[in-house]
Structure 1
């Protein structure tokens, strides 16, 4: 049928519509999955089991499942659960990048998310029997130091990681995001330590505690834990609490 054909209805138009007439770049989602342990901010990496870049490390990602993924967030959550077996308490879309050179297979577009996971109870699928996808041969956490990791990542994933770290650190300056990285029970000193690890600098303790208390995002568990000098109150994140935005950046972090 002529492409300039006039149609009498939407139904008639779609009956004759041929999507193959238009070029379609490869479309994927890449998720930068952060956690904190061993006094370091860590990112989850996967080793590719197929070409291109076979046996090289990348961020967690994959192509959109057109049959089952209803949204980009569905893709991000699905790939995260495949690699960690858990659901993230926090997932945020960062940016989209697309060009002709980022993937040697051709024009590609990826939407980048970052996810935050508490390190407790994460069971990575660390051997071939556990990994369901032939495109992945191994998974691991890699510590971030000076905004970098020791691995050279495939595709443009080093750039993606750099931008995601920048986004996370900027938001931590004025939000309660690190609370999503905490175990079920924690002290205010524990929470401050996680802030300091992410920001890579020391915070003023009294100011930090006042700010967290005023945010009203935590509740006491009624339990204590012996600290260096005295018992410390244990807290947990309140249920159904959204990210808190402070009016100013946290003192001592600039």
Structure 2
């Protein structure tokens, strides 16, 4: 008696694309154009193209280009989600990634994505709500001791602007002195020579940018904020 061939495993990538709008952390969602769950809002995702993608991260970058029109921003692997019941099409494994992008750079995605506050998500198909929750918890945890939130801040920026981004991500106020000390420890920024933000009510503020060494990796600190 011949063994019955095992059914194929569905292999996909899903991307939790986070940005800021107003005073809230937002996630980018797209309308599914095919079954299952056609017409539903979902995370940008798609099949791994084995003959095209060098690895799962290349798949995630391609998904962002195809679904949102975005060149890959800061992108890191989040976790793997798998099982027999997460997808009605069959046993599936999804490699999830987390991407961060400043709102000012979302113009190419206009009309392709819808933003939703991470703390007030609409109904999502598959296990996408769980994936978003895992991503948000990861980002908030890593923001305590790393340069991660800087990828939500469009360059150039002042230190008060960067602190405001950290506060939105963490959901709490940060002591100014503690924040400045943490930025110095992380050594992730470089001042832009001669670049100042002029304000009517305040002294000119120095403008900064992220050091090239930390555009694709994080600066880490042993202590949290």
Cα distance in 2 between the residues matched to 1:166 and 1:34: 12
Q: List aligned pairs for 1:234-253, cutoff 5 A.
A: 234-241=207-214, 242-250=217-225
Pick aligned residue for 1:205 from 176, 181, 196: 176
- 1:112 pairs with 2:112: no
Q: List aligned pairs for 1:25-36, cutoff 5 A.
A: 25-36=9-20
Q: List aligned pairs for 1:223-234, cutoff 5 A.
A: 223-227=195-199, 228-234=201-207
Pick aligned residue for 1:153 from 117, 121, 124: 124
* Higher radius of gyration, 1 or 2: 1
Range with greater deviation from structure 2 (84-93 or 38-47): 84-93
SS at match of 1:240: helix
Cα distance in 1 between the residues matched to 2:68 and 2:154: 16
SS at match of 1:120: helix
Is the Cα–Cα contact under 8 Å of residues 80 and 86 in structure 1 kept in the other structure? yes
SS at match of 2:137: helix
Is the Cα–Cα contact under 8 Å of residues 68 and 113 in structure 2 kept in the other structure? no
Provide the alpha-carbon RMSD of the alignment. Answer: 1.9
Cα distance in 1 between the residues matched to 2:49 and 2:134: 26
SS at match of 1:30: strand
Is the Cα–Cα contact under 8 Å of residues 219 and 238 in structure 1 kept in the other structure? yes
Equivalences, count: 220
SS at match of 1:186: coil
Cα distance in 2 between the residues matched to 1:236 and 1:126: 26
Q: List aligned pairs for 1:78-89, cutoff 5 A.
A: 78-89=62-73
Is the Cα–Cα contact under 8 Å of residues 84 and 123 in structure 1 kept in the other structure? no
Q: TM-score, normalised by structure 1?
A: 0.81
- Corresponding residue of 1:102: 86
Summarize the Cα distance change of 1:104–1:22 in structure 2 as closer, same or farther, 3 Å threshold. closer
- 1:173 pairs with 2:144: yes
Pick aligned residue for 1:219 from 190, 209, 213: 190
Q: List aligned pairs for 1:42-81, cutoff 5 A.
A: 42-81=26-65
Unaligned 5+ segments in structure 1 are: 4-19, 128-137
Is the Cα–Cα contact under 8 Å of residues 117 and 180 in structure 1 kept in the other structure? yes
Please identify runs of 4+ aligned residues in structure 1 that moved more than 3 A.
Answer: 20-23, 124-127
Cα distance in 2 between the residues matched to 1:223 and 1:194: 21
Post-superposition Cα deviations, 1:79-112, rounded to whole Å, max 9, x if no partner, equal 0122333323421111111111111111111011
Cα distance in 1 between the residues matched to 2:122 and 2:130: 12
